[in-house]
Amino acid sequence: MDNMCDMKILVVGAGGVGDAIAKIAARRSFFETMIVSDYDVTRAERTIAWIEAKHGPQGGRFVAAQIDASKPESVAAVAREHGATHVMNAVEPKFVPTIFAGALEAGADYLDMAMSLSQPHPEQPYALTGVKLGDEQFAAAGDWEAAGRLALVGMGVEPGLSDVFARYAADHLFSEIDELGTRDGANLVVRDDEGNEIFAPSFSIWTTIEECLNPPVIWEKDKGWFTTPPFSEPEVFDFPEGIGPVECVNVEHEEVLLMPRWVDAKRVTFKYGLGDEFIGILKTLHQLGLDKTEPLRVRSANGPVMVSPRDVVAAGLPDPATLGPRMTGKTCAGLWVTGTGVDGSPRAVYLYHVSDNEWTMAEYESQCVVWQTALNPVIALELLATGAWSGAGVLGPEAFDAQPFLDLMARPESEGGYGQPWGLEERAPVA
């Protein structure tokens, strides 16, 4: 495959997902340079060392850099120093505003996998929305359009791939959509050195707390966006490829804030298979105030210090990027779509992608949840490099033609694709 453009990608964050983005991109040739950056530059250097050990010398195609994601000026300075054309945000969503602003300041396009954070409604948090996920970014859409730059937001796996599926379903499978229901589940198990099953979230606990304890958002055509209590509307959803039935509950997520902007549907939901133990732990953290982000004054041997309770929880759990060797099972991300098919008959389908931890560890030394998240922005970057996708402003994945994405994703690596087939299961139509 020939180089397609002079794309230079600044990846902000060399944690689990940023590391996987670089490893996946190392097999592709659509970009000129990838600058892997982190506050701790040794993490970026470790990623690049892995790539060179696996694939041989890269001739400067991968470069490590130190960055402070909390400062727009730092992001802009690193982007300018390396001539970055695209800034790929691969850190926790609390850094979205600063990376987003830094990319625009540097005159670069921007991608992320999670959007600017929400704030619950002050009086009726479980009925009305306050500040919604992504509101801060969409408020800046005019600035991005005026600059002729693109901010492609919510382009991970969830949000991301499910949003691509929504566009595909609307364009090719349905004449009318009743519900776009993102449904994610897994049968992953993490064990300690003695083989005992342990509690260890496969994704950032900081982000998980944010998603699961905030009021979930639902969208309905006649009501717009509204909220419910956490863990509402439990349902058992049957996941494919041996995962089986998993109880899923409403969780706050970007798909519900993205899909209705571009895809016509009567209802949009997001439900995640958390399991009773995980829900119980999250409820306990909330009861104890350990989900809070505002720092508390804590005594220490060196005098009082200010500590965020949620940061303490995150520090006390294993780094999700290190869980791969202890983990077994599969994770499934997908979209359940109900409505009227193009032939006028009732139809329900589940569009999905499954990631197997055994395979991702063998191929990439990356656990399956972070690897699956990282796959989709790399595909999107390649489509932007080839010109198959283009645009300006603040846009979600639904704003682009889904077919090129899904074709490139599923095409075998030997034929220039990513070798990751996606599935389509016909389900019983909803009465």
Residues 325 and 381 in one domain: no
Residue with tokens 């304890």: 213
Angle 16-25/41-55 helices, nearest 10 degrees? 30
Task: Please list the alpha-helical segments (H only) found in 116-250.
Answer: 135-139, 141-147, 161-168, 205-213
CATH code of the domain in which 25 resides: 3.40.50.720
In a domain, 227, yes or no: yes
CA 176 from centre of chain: 27
Residues 150 and 165 in one domain: no
In a domain, 425, yes or no: no
Residues 121 and 218 in one domain: no
Reading the block at residue 230, the tokens are 């956490």
Residues 225 and 100 in one domain: no
Cα–Cα distance, 44 to 160 (Å, whole number)? 25
Residues 104 and 138 in one domain: yes
Residues 208 and 224 in one domain: yes
In a domain, 2, yes or no: no
Q: What one-letter code names the amino acid at 79?
A: A
In a domain, 426, yes or no: no
Give the pLDDT mean for 77-81.
98
Residues 226 and 338 in one domain: yes
Residues 127 and 167 in one domain: no
Cα–Cα distance, 257 to 269 (Å, whole number)? 10
Residues 100 and 203 in one domain: no
Domain encompassing residue 192? 161-361
CATH code of the domain in which 258 resides: 3.30.360.10
Reading the block at residue 411, the tokens are 């095409």
pTM (two decimals): 0.92
Is 398 within 8 Å of 54 (Cβ atoms)? no
Give the pLDDT mean for 192-207.
81
pLDDT in tens, 353-400: 999 999 999 999 999 999 999 999 999 999 999 999 999 999 999 999
Residues 144 and 198 in one domain: no
- The total number of structural domains that make up the chain: 2
Predicted local distance difference test score (pLDDT) of residue 2: 41
pLDDT at 163 over 80: yes
In a domain, 21, yes or no: yes
Residues 266 and 307 in one domain: yes
Residues 82 and 196 in one domain: no
